[in-house]
Amino acid sequence: MESNCPLGVLMLDIEGSELTAEDRQLLARPVVGGLILFTRNYRDPRQLRELVADARNCNPELLIAVDQEGGRVQRFRHEFVQLPPLHRLFTVYQDDSEKAVELARSCAWVMAAEILHHGIDLSFAPVLDLHTDISAVIGNRAFAADVKTATDLARAYINGMHEAGMIATGKHFPGHGSVAADSHHELPVDTRDAEEIFRTDMQVFSNCIDVLDAIMPAHVSYPSIDSECAGFSSKWLQQILRQQLGFEGVIFSDDLGMQAARESGSPADRAAKALSAGCDMVLSCNDREAALAVADYLDTNHSAGNYRLSKLRATPAADISDLYNTEKWQAATDQIAALVS
């Protein structure tokens, strides 16, 4: 449901499978506009729906998100469809590109439909990084190594998400696949020249820019373009993404608690830099003290919220409410079961 109200620009997490009194107070703060859920927040479908309902009682406009890519990055597993890593689609594409494109659409529709069925607005997907032997943290989360195949599969996947009624978030702009370091633990530096980065990794984002609703930049430094990592760089986010590529959607920061981001100062400093660079919403996860510090900073500096974020609330397709009883669901999940077997 789309709202005309501006949303708070902070997305944060909670520790358990139920809200504490402190959680409720924090989610009700006007500067908080989003909640991201992790594996620790999930026991079973009934508990998940109750948690989502409780969170929305605290803040009816709250955006609720999860990373439900498939493969090793799938937060909800028990009683959810087992989703393949995106690179599994490439193996099909090699033999039958049309079948792989259809499977990409089906995987995305199933993922998005099931998430929406449980009251959650979005999954941060798809990964648009190129698949390489360099990055272990990306690895088989990426569709393919070449731009054309990655683009074909990504656009089909995005169409499947849209068919279910979910917005699509491309990550990690302009590409995390060509650096070995894991940004969760250190700041990766991509030393290639700008021409190569634009021609390869960033090209997938450029090719999908017309169908993407949101983008998440990488906590990666590309010194041939800017000394700041992409998520803190106005050159990357405003000059290249907004002006050069013409992107008009939402920009989410990646988690400001990741080690690669910590080099940019205190939690409040990181939030300030990300917002100043062009992010619409900042994520502060797995550190309640840091999230509180960011919220306190935002109370003074960004209390007006952001209207662009209100467009991200999900509008589920009509068949989502009775999802598990539809022929479409059965056919699509049969396709996926064959893919992951």
- CATH number for the domain spanning 16: value is 3.20.20.300
Taking the C-alpha atoms of residue 24 and residue 27, their distance in angstroms, rounded to an integer, is 5
Instruction: Report pLDDT for 71.
Output: 96
CB 141 within 8 A of CB 129: yes
Q: Is residue 149 in some structural domain?
A: yes
Instruction: Report pLDDT for 4.
Output: 67
pTM of the model: 0.96
Domain that holds residue 106: 10-340
Q: Is residue 3 in some structural domain?
A: no
Q: Is residue 1 in some structural domain?
A: no
**Is 329 exposed, middle or buried (CB count within 10 Å of its CB: 0-12, 13-18, 19+)?**
buried
Which residue type occupies 38?
F
Three-class DSSP labels, 106-128: HHHHHHHHHHHHCCCCEECCCEC
Q: Is residue 5 in some structural domain?
A: no
What domain count does the chain have?
Answer: 1
Q: Is residue 187 in some structural domain?
A: yes
Q: Is residue 275 in some structural domain?
A: yes
Q: Is residue 142 in some structural domain?
A: yes
DSSP string across 157-212: HHHHHHHHT---EEEEET-STT--S-TTTS--B--S-HHHHHHTHHHHHHHHTTT-
User: Known catalytic residues?
Assistant: 184, 254
Instruction: Report pLDDT for 309.
Output: 92
Taking the C-alpha atoms of residue 35 and residue 28, their distance in angstroms, rounded to an integer, is 11
**Is 34 exposed, middle or buried (CB count within 10 Å of its CB: 0-12, 13-18, 19+)?**
buried
pLDDT along the chain (341 residues), means of 10: 76 98 97 97 98 97 97 97 97 97 98 97 98 92 97 98 97 94 85 97 98 96 95 98 98 88 86 96 96 96 85 87 95 94 79
Q: Is residue 240 in some structural domain?
A: yes
Instruction: Report pLDDT for 2.
Output: 47
